[in-house]
Amino acid sequence: MRRLVGTVQHFAWGDRTEIPRILGVEPDGHPWAEYWLGAHHGGPATFLDAPDESLAAYLTRHPEQIGEASVEAYGAKLPFLMKILSCASPLSLQVHPTREQAVAGYAKESLIGLPVSHPERSYKDDWPKPETIIALTPFEGLLGFRSPIETAELFEQLGVERELASVIGPLRDRSEQLALQEVFLDVLTIRKRRHLVDLVLARAVECLDAEGPLGRFARTAVDIDEHFPGDPGILAALLMNHFTLAPGEAISLEPGELHAYLRGTGIEVMASSDNVIRGGLTQKHIDVDGLLGLVNFRTLHPKVQRPEGSDGAYRYPTSFPEFEVWLLAPVSDSGVDLPHTSSARIALTTDGRFALEGDTTVTLQPGEAVFIPAGEHVHARGTGQMFVAAAGA
């Protein structure tokens, strides 16, 4: 068991105070978007007792510490990545690939000679990126498509269905999948008809105080416009489901599901990938053809997850093979055993103070994390909350 130091990602959409608060450091005026704890080459964690040694390099030399089942399934690579994520403004509309799509996409972009850092590169590795976000603060986002008929009715209630008929007409006239695909593609190429976006926003302002779905619909448009004025991606966002998480609640994202986080801070656990294929609300490269080949054009009803378990150890019911994630919140002085001893784990404290007793004893304050190798039994005593990620295999 060794203390880890994560990698900070200063993306423009990041909040300036929340991650520094959790880590117990002073804000520096820059946006702190993500804090990576893992072995991905885009930002591997290092060890507190050996700052020049990355977790990725260490596991290359000691693959047995990942866990036998995980190595057999995924090779000598830590298959998961844990992050603290904090957004003050919306992330881009985006989708993540399946494993097969990631392998093909990475190979194609490598074959044509695009460097991994190239701005038009979508595939940074050949891994899928299913993920789970667990709210630390109230958290809002968009996930998947609402029923086309429901969306058409919301545009009608907003008072713009007639003016937008050339764009959203298929929502009532086509089969579900064809309607969503046709309207979404039209929205991506609507720049010569941006007056329609302005019209939607003008009507949305008039409906901000409406109750129920119409009010949420209007507020979503106006909130996004504050950060992306007049962006056609606003219309794409209005095709999607809005979700809100209370602290401790989670939502999981399958490959192929269009999504965007809007605001809030949470713990994000995912397969160890940085593949992002963007579909709007961004100045970065949008590969329209590649995007349409990945997105699931179907109605989705987002399912909010709550941790399941007892006696201080609670598992989030995800079904992804690359990772599992738990919330530890001891209910007595006797503490709780850390789960999944057969796999490498990363444990991160976000509140309180914990003493971890294993081959060594480590005390963790908020924002501090440890790497625990497969086979090491660890018992946690303390109060507060700790998140533990492990390989799912």
> Could you tell me the pLDDT band of residue 84, with boundaries at 50, 70 and 90?
very high
> Could you tell me the pLDDT band of residue 110, with boundaries at 50, 70 and 90?
very high
**Type of residue numbered 123:** Y
Does residue 43 carry a pLDDT above 90?
yes
Cβ neighbours around 13 below 10 Å, total: 21
- Domain locations along the chain: 2-142+245-283, 147-238, 308-390
Alpha carbon separation from 109 to 103, 120, 256, 290 (Å, rounded): 10, 9, 19, 12
pLDDT in tens, 252-269: 999 999 999 999 999 999
Pairwise pLDDT comparison (311 vs 154), residue with the higher score: 154
- Extract long-range pairs of 155-161: CB within 8 Å, 24+ residues apart: 155/200, 155/238, 157/207, 157/214, 157/217, 158/200, 158/203, 158/204, 158/207, 158/214, 158/217, 158/218, 159/203, 160/199, 160/200, 160/203
CATH classification code of 308-390: 2.60.120.10
Cβ neighbours around 108 below 10 Å, total: 13
Q: Are 236 and 95 in contact (CB under 8 A)?
A: no
Task: Provide the 3-class DSSP secondary structure of residue 81.
Answer: strand
pLDDT in tens, 291-332: 889 999 999 999 999 999 988 999 999 889 999 999 999 888
> Could you tell me the pLDDT band of residue 393, with boundaries at 50, 70 and 90?
low
Does residue 193 carry a pLDDT above 90?
no
Homologous superfamily in CATH for domain 2-142+245-283: Jelly Rolls (2.60.120.10)
Of the candidates 369, 376, 392, which has an alpha carbon nearest to the alpha carbon of residue 24? 369
**DSSP strand pairing (361-364 vs 7-9):** unpaired
Cβ neighbours around 359 below 10 Å, total: 11
Task: Provide the 3-class DSSP secondary structure of residue 378.
Answer: coil
Q: Which stretch of 30-39, 146-155, 192-201 has the lowest confidence by average pLDDT?
A: 192-201
- Whole-angstrom distance, CA of residue 290 vs CA of residue 267: 29
Alpha carbon separation from 308 to 67, 251, 339 (Å, rounded): 24, 14, 13
pLDDT in tens, 215-240: 999 999 999 999 999 888 999 999 99
pTM of the model: 0.95
* 2-142+245-283 and 308-390: identical CATH topology: yes
Of the candidates 196, 238, 236, which has an alpha carbon nearest to the alpha carbon of residue 213? 238
pLDDT of residue 170: 96
- Whole-angstrom distance, CA of residue 338 vs CA of residue 344: 11
pLDDT of residue 13: 96
- Per the prediction, the chain carries an average pLDDT of 94
Tokens matching residue 59:
């596991």
> Could you tell me the pLDDT band of residue 119, with boundaries at 50, 70 and 90?
confident
